[in-house]
Amino acid sequence: MNHKTTLHLLLVLTFITAGLNLISYGGTALLLPQMRQMVDQMPELVPEMARTYMDMFLSMPRLYFAGAALLYALELLGGVLMWQVKASGFHCYTLSRLLLLLVPLLFLGKDFVQLGDVMFAALFILAYWLLMRQLGAFGGGQQSEETQNPQEPQE
């Protein structure tokens, strides 16, 4: 498998996760006031066991969800640009991933920063950096022979 194919496979994962998160966080940012009103008017909708978690969720600032949605949109933009092997795509992606690690810290506190999120962000940033470097996106000619002279697979 060549570097460009590997890059595209990773980018498909990014498109899926960032796209779903954009819809989720964007929808929550838009509908949070209505959700609060509905739970206030009909508290029986929330089972007693889930009430603590629902109260915590509904008390989160709307700006938290809107900010995360915008950063996921930036991550998608970075993915589209990386698909075209543009260095600016890597920079957009990296900026969005790092800021997405800070959003929970800024709005919700240090207890909401997850080690797994940090590890996956670092893993994907490293993988994208290595692949983009191999494909010559950053200039300088670090291209491998495989990317300079791609060969069609033989059947």
pLDDT score of 48: 83
Question: Could you tell me the residue ranges of all domains in the chain?
Answer: 3-135
String of DSSP letters for 39-65:
HHH-GGGS-GGGHHHHHHHHHS-HHHH
Q: What is the pLDDT of residues 64-109, one digit of tens each?
A: 999 999 999 999 999 999 999 999 999 999 999 999 999 999 988 8
b/e code 14-33 from CB counts within 10 Å (16+ = b) = beebbeebbeebbebbeebe
Q: How far is CA 72 from the centre of its chain?
A: 5
Q: Helix %, strand %, coil % for the chain, to 5?
A: 80, 0, 20
